[in-house]
Each structure stands twice: as structure tokens, then as C-alpha cells.
Amino acid sequence: MVKIQKTILSRVEGEIELKLIWEKGIIKDAFIIAPNFRGFEFILEGKPILDSLIITPRVCGICGHAHLMATVNALENLYKNAGYNIEISKKANLIRLITLSAEIVQNHLRWFYLFVFPDLLKLETYTEDLSEYIPIKGKQWQKAIDFSSKIVKVIAIFGGQWPHTSYSIPGGVVCDPTTFDITESISIVDSMIKYYEENIIGMKYENYLSIEDYKEFIEKSDKDLSKFLKLCFKHNLHKIGKAYNRFLTVSNIYPIFSQGATKRKKYNFNIKKLEEIDTYSFLTKKGIDFNGKKYSWAKAVRYEGFPYETGPLARRINNKDKLFLNLLADLKDTYIPRIWARIDEIIKLLLAMKKWLQEIDIKEPSYIKPKKNIKELEGIAYGLCEAARGSLIHKLEVKEGKIKKYDIITPSTWNLGPRCEKYLSPAEKAIIGLDNSLIAEMVLRSFDVCSVCTTH
């Protein structure tokens, strides 16, 4: 008998619904429904170009800063496409990287403790003492909140506030940090590194970075990440959540993220190979349509016609990270590597942030005025950015000083979008075949669900 079950996944940024079709106790089909919509693309249309700098960060309260970066990149790309060179000082570039990384770090940390651990608590009822991870009351939960609040202060120092900053503009940044600001940021990053070593990996980061195999790590560590992994193996979670084994990363952040699309082999990313499909989406090229088989506000996005997974695991793979190539060989693209990649990224970003902070030369200009007024430009441009959950793309069309069209493809669109005629989205694929709805929710959550971003 076929049974249809609808679950609402809260405890995400906004809601996502998961509709499961069961047959003989097995999930036969899964639909990821993004039920909420605000209409950012319509709101941006017809507005003066620079308004986008204020509006797009509000797409999401968690990764708004990445949206700002994508917009700035798109506006700078507009100059380039119109034949004008745009110059950015090294200082401005470093500051942008630092703030972007801080946002990613806060996200991963919070997600691990606030969203991932509570699921494990449910699986573990009464069998082991995990009181430290209980939401709101648990020590480790509280620490995660504390430290994720701490790292966003770095964004506030350079960007004024978090969430929702708008301090970056085509040509650079508006802030002029002092040595004091930089020292303060370094000390925050240092305290984060120490927290990470003592609580998450349970060893010096140098030792952690040389680990190439999960067994070795589990043996050497007894802190949160290791506890998490042990629980995963205990509950057989190393076999669940396999998606397509195709990974996409759209921009470079040397030396930690490298652009590329990997399916078995790595290829260069080419924006022209990307396509949005609205067969199952309420939002279509012709307008809004609630008919028939349509079930989500999100659109499907395909690269060379295929669905790709984006996000930290994709970044680790495209960056040819030894540990993750091994994990992929041992465990495939499943629950554990997907989650571990997010935790792993934290330390890589923190170390890079520290280096970047030390490299800032405050004597350099923060802003170099572009040769041409942006209001005189026309054309099509792309803004690419790596956000916490993966690759973010803004496409912009400008005419007569106004935004003619604005298209936003968020990481969640790649991972949690609806299906197309041929393929399910990576998260839908990863859920099919499971036999337990809690586990299905956990697999969905391993993609770091963000519904406000998915639909915008």
C-alpha cells in the first residue's frame, strides 16, 4: 500500500516541508517543498542599480553577507563586461574575504550544535549521556552560541553590523579600519581557533590537518566531532544520504576553495553551461502558476543538464583535499562526509582569516573610484560567490541606469530545489530508499537547509 506522509521541517531558517511517499515501509519518493515566497527578483526590477546593495543582503538573515558580495561582484563584472577596468585594492579584497569567512564560520558552528546534534539526541534517547548538547540548557550548545556570536563581531568591526551589512561597494569597501580594529579581530580569531581545538577536534590544529583517514581521527580524538562520528557509526549513519557524486564550486578563494565541477574528474566551471528549469516550480518564466504537478517556489538548476551538489563537501572535493577524497572513497557522498566537511571548513577559514588580517596594509586605499559612473553602464553581468551552504550566483541585467532583470540562484536551489523531468534534486535523491522519517529529515538537514534562501 502506498502511504503519503507530510512532515514540516522546522528548526531551519524558515520552513521546508518534506513529503514522503512510502511503499512497504520504504520511502519510494520524496518531494522537498519550499512553501514560502517573497518576490525579491520582482522587487529589484526597475530599481536604481545601487539599491541592490541594500536589498539583496536581506534575502537571508544567515548568509546575507554572501548576497552582498555576490551583488558587488556582479556590479564589478558589469564594468568589466562594458569594457572598463575596475581596480580593487588588496586591502579591500582582504577585508571582503575576512568578513565573508566570518559569516561562513558562524553558520557552520551554529548549525552543527543547534540543528545536527539535536537529531542525534533523539536517536540516542536514554542510552548515553549527551546532556551537554541539549538545546538551550547544554554547555556545548551554549558555547556554540557564544562563539558564533563572537566571530560575527569581526563582520561588525569592518561592516558595521550583522546580519544585513551593506559596507561593500563597487570599487572597494567604505570602512577604514585602524590597527586597533585589526588587532581586535585577530584576537577574536585566535580565541575561536583555541575553542575549536579544545572543543571540536580535541587536538592542535596542526595535528588535525595532517589526518587523512577517519579511523585515525576517531582514535586520536574524544571531543565533539569525534563523539558525533562515533554516534553516527553506532546508528549506521555512514550508509545513508548518498546523492549524485557530482560537485560544483563556482568561485576561488585561494588556497581553500577552488572553482570547478567534479564528476569523477574535475572540470573548469563555465557559467554558460547552467540552466534553470521551472517545470515543477510555482514561479515560471511566464508568471506564477499553481497548477498540476508543481510543488515548490524554488526552481531546479542544472549544470550541463545534470543536478550537482554544492557546499562544503563540494568545496573539499574540488579543492582535492586528501582527507575528503579518502572519505569519499570509503563512505561515498553520504551523511558523514557532508557534515564533516562543514566542520572541517571552520578551521581552514579561521586560519586563512588570521593570515589575511595580518596581511592588511592600512595605508592602502579602501576604495578606488571607478572610471565611469555606474549609472551610465548597460549590459548583463554575473556575480559569483561561495556562501556557507555553497555556490551563490547573481545574474544582473541593466538598462538606462535601472535594473532590468535580477536572477538569484542560491546554494539551496542546487541542493534542495525541485526535480526536473529527468532528475531529482540531490537532497530528494539522497532520501529515497530510507526506511525512517527521522533519518530522512536528518539527511535533508545534512545539506544545511535554508528555506528563505531557496525561495527568496
Partner 1 sequence: MQFFSREHMKNIFTKPTNYVDTNKGEKYYKSLYEKMRKRLDELKAMKPVREHDIKFEKALDMWELSRRDFLKWVSATTALLMLPPTFEPLVAEAAEVMNRIPIIWINIQDCDGNSEALLRSSAPTVDELILDYLSVEYHETLMAAAGDQAEKCLEDAVRDFKGKYLLFVEGSIPVGMPEAFTIGRHPETGVERVQRLAKDAAAVIAVGSCATFGGIPAAYPNPTGAVGVMDVVKGKPIVNIPACPHNPANSVGVIMHYILTGELPELDSLLRPKFAFGYRIHDNCERRAHFDAGEYVEEWGDEGAKNNFCLYKMGCKGPFTFNNCSIIRYNDGTNWPIGVGRGCIGCAEPDFWDKYATERPLANSDIHPPGLWGVEATVDKVGLGILTATAIGIGIHAVASAVAGKKEETK
Residue ranges of the annotated binding site are: 41, 60, 63, 408, 450, 453, 456
Q: Are 235 and 215 in contact (CB under 8 A)?
A: no
Q: How far is the CB of 396 from partner 1 (least distance, A)?
A: 17
Select from partner 1, ligand SF4, none the partner in contact with residue 38, using the beta carbon and a kind-dependent cut-off of 5 to 8 Å. Answer: partner 1
**For partner 1, the closer CB: 167 or 356:** 167
**For partner 1, the closer CB: 268 or 291:** 291
What letter does residue 16 receive in the DSSP assignment? E
For position 282 contacting partner 1 by CB under 8 A, the verdict is yes
Helix axes 179-195, 139-159, angle to 10 degrees: 160
For position 36 contacting partner 1 by CB under 8 A, the verdict is yes
What letter does residue 15 receive in the DSSP assignment? -
Other beta carbons less than 10 A from residue 250's beta carbon: 27
For position 279 contacting partner 1 by CB under 8 A, the verdict is no
Applying CB under 8 A, the span of 151-159, 259-267, 304-312, 423-431 interacting with partner 1 comes to 151-159
For position 111 contacting partner 1 by CB under 8 A, the verdict is no
**For ligand SF4, the closer CB: 246 or 394:** 394
Binding site for ligand SF4 (CB under 6 A): 58, 61, 164
Q: Are 331 and 238 in contact (CB under 8 A)?
A: yes
Other beta carbons less than 10 A from residue 153's beta carbon: 14
Select from partner 1, ligand SF4, none the partner in contact with residue 112, using the beta carbon and a kind-dependent cut-off of 5 to 8 Å. Answer: none
Select from partner 1, ligand SF4, none the partner in contact with residue 413, using the beta carbon and a kind-dependent cut-off of 5 to 8 Å. Answer: none
**For partner 1, the closer CB: 169 or 339:** 169
Among 250, 83, 64, 25, CA closest to 159:
64
For position 62 contacting partner 1 by CB under 8 A, the verdict is yes
Grid cell 519518493 in the structure block, residue = 29
Q: How far is the CB of 61 from ligand SF4 (least distance, A)?
A: 5
Spatial separation of the C-alpha atoms in residues 434 and 228, rounded to whole Å:
21
How far from 231 is each of 224, 228, 251, CA to CA, in Å?
Answer: 10, 5, 34
Q: Are 322 and 348 in contact (CB under 8 A)?
A: no
**For ligand SF4, the closer CB: 153 or 164:** 164
Q: Three cell numbers at 250? A: 563556482
For 176, residues 6+ apart whose C-beta sits below 8 A from its C-beta are 362, 366
Which residue of 32, 152, 193, 261 would you call a contact of partner 1, by CB under 8 A?
152
Position of minimal CB gap to ligand SF4: 58
Give the angle subtended at the CA of 28 by the CAs of 111 and 238, to the nearest 5°: 45
For position 14 contacting partner 1 by CB under 8 A, the verdict is yes
For position 123 contacting partner 1 by CB under 8 A, the verdict is no
For position 169 contacting partner 1 by CB under 8 A, the verdict is yes
